[in-house]
Chain A
Amino acid sequence: DTEVTQTPKHLVMGMTNKKSLKCEQHMGHRAMYWYKQKAKKPPELMFVYSYEKLSINESVPSRFSPECPNSSLLNLHLHALQPEDSALYLCASSGGTATNEKLFFGSGTQLSVL
């Protein structure tokens, strides 16, 4: 199984809502990532988990809260988002540690904030 599965595929939320994005992989990868991608732009790194510990937070606003319940799962909790947070949110995983080599991306969650 070489897939990274993300749910939901689409999400519409108001600025006062709380929602969560979910990501799952069963490749035994010990590094997992959250990226944000705006239309026609490259992905921007948000968070990196290595061996279930948060190792990188790229100065992301606190309205985004990541969680890694176990080595296969990654969540992104959303609260009080702004319309400019509307984007494609991508989960990725890689090998044994947080490395740039061979990232496996999910298909993403297309988020719209109204």
Chain B
Amino acid sequence: QQQVKQSPQSLIVQKGGISIINCAYENTAFDYFPWYQQFPGKGPALLIAIRPDVSEKKEGRFTISFNKSAKQFSLHIMDSQPGDSATYFCAASWNSNYQLIWGAGTKLIIKP
């Protein structure tokens, strides 16, 4: 119940294409869903986050889509660029809890 399942494990997208990473959860108490981006040799950095009272949040080329009834959320990267090549982690938590439940991660490669 505390798991967040992330897919795919790896993804290759052509430059200019749309990258889509999906996450699913079981615990309906989760109320905060962030996405972190991690480059090799660096710590994760918060990319974008959403709460379940909205179905979509957009920041620049990055969009989170949230489906509360399906208990799924996804990250869309529009016009993907080589600089977006990184590992992406979804996560979830509840009630401002210190503990984040992390997905397994997706290694994204954008081909020039």
Contact = CB atoms under 8 A, between A and B. Distances in A.
Interface of A: 4, 31, 33, 40-43, 45, 48, 55-56, 90, 92, 98-108
Interface string B24-50: 000000001010000001111110010
A72 B57 CA distance: 33
Given A92-B43, A100-B97, 14 more contacts: A31-B98, A55-B98, A56-B99, A90-B43, A98-B98, A99-B96, A99-B97, A100-B93, A101-B34, A101-B96, A103-B44, A105-B42, A107-B42, A108-B42
30 contacts: A4-B43, A31-B98, A41-B105, A42-B102, A43-B44, A43-B102, A45-B98, A45-B99, A45-B100, A48-B98, A56-B98, A90-B43, A90-B44, A98-B98, A99-B97, A99-B98, A100-B34, A100-B98, A100-B99, A101-B32, A101-B49, A102-B49, A103-B46, A104-B46, A105-B42, A105-B43, A105-B45, A106-B43, A107-B41, A107-B42
A40 B46 CA distance: 18
Interface residues of B, number: 22
Among all A-B residue pairs, the 6 with the closest Cβ atoms: A105-B43, A42-B102, A98-B98, A100-B93, A99-B96, A90-B43
Decide if the interface of chain A is mainly helix, strand, loop or mixed.
loop
Contacts of A107: 41-43
A107 B45 CA distance: 10
B100 A41 contact: no
A6 B107 CA distance: 25
Contacts of B43: 4, 90, 92, 105-108
B20 interface: no
A75 B89 CA distance: 26
A98 B44 CA distance: 18
Contacts of A48: 98
Nearest to A42: B102
B93 to A, nearest CB: 4
Contacts of A99: 96-98
